[in-house]
Amino acid sequence: MFNGIIESIGTIQKIDIVGQSNRLYIEFDEKKFNDIKLGDSISVNGICLTIEDIRDKHLIFYTSQETNSKTNKFFCSQKVNLERSLLLGSRISGNFVFGHIDGIATLIGIQHLDESQIWQFEIPHELLIYFTPKGSVAINGVSLTVNKVLKNSIEINLIPFTLEHTALRFNNIGDLLNIEVDMLARYVHTTLNKENE
């Protein structure tokens, strides 16, 4: 489990294709991740992946066909958000993020407002039921607050700190990003539906 507070930005240096699966080689900051070991879970752009190997300043992950079919495609030289899994007793600064991607959002608008930016994302229709103003969402692993819910999209506000410390600053209009809906919203919706059956 994660909390959507990005600790470091990595760079994908190599992707080996293994049938319909992949092996990712991600260059990372050893000083920030000096306590990791094989088998640890790392959030990579919001996807919970297991460290398969650590070699020459690279984290190596295997992504299965199932993972590849549900998430945005990785590419070489891509900057990715990295977060270690939570420790018991840690302060929760964002929201609970499980690393299980629900769908892919399209960045369709960027509006500058003072030093912040308002980003608009087109959301898959079947996921819109989980969004509410002031609710949470994880976009490429970054915990964010929903400002507005529109007919087919949501708006979020990116403050300067978030833009500076995450790989979101490398994104442009038209890009596809991984989204994970707020788990509490999912549970509430599921419970209410069961009560109405």
pLDDT digits (tens, 9 = 90+) for 48-69: 999 999 998 999 999 999 999 9
Residue 4: pLDDT band with limits 50, 70, 90: very high
For position 148, what pLDDT does the model report? 97
DSSP secondary-structure letter at 72? P
pTM score over 0.75: yes
Angle 181-144-46 from CA coordinates, rounded to 5°: 60
For position 191, what pLDDT does the model report? 64
Give Cβ neighbours of residue 172 (< 8 Å, ≥ 6 apart). Answer: 107
Question: Which residue ranges make up each domain of the chain?
Answer: 8-84, 103-195
Q: Given this structure, which CATH class describes domain 8-84?
A: mainly beta
Mean pLDDT across 144-173: 97
Task: Evaluate if residue 188 carries a pLDDT over 70.
Answer: no
Residue 20 Cα distances to 23, 98, 103, angstroms: 11, 24, 19
For position 126, what pLDDT does the model report? 93
For position 194, what pLDDT does the model report? 61
Residue 173: pLDDT band with limits 50, 70, 90: very high
Q: Kind of pairing, strands 79-84 and 58-63?
A: unpaired
Task: Evaluate if residue 187 carries a pLDDT over 70.
Answer: no
pLDDT > 70 fraction of the chain, expressed in percent and rounded: 90
pLDDT digits (tens, 9 = 90+) for 99-121: 999 999 999 999 999 999 999 99
Mean pLDDT across 71-81: 97
Residue 89: pLDDT band with limits 50, 70, 90: low
Q: What is the mean pLDDT of the chain?
A: 92
CATH of 103-195 given 3.90.1010.10, 2.60.40.1120, 2.40.30.20, 3.40.190.10: 2.40.30.20
| Fold agreement (8-84, 103-195) | yes
- Tell me the C-alpha distance between 20 and 26, whole Å: 19
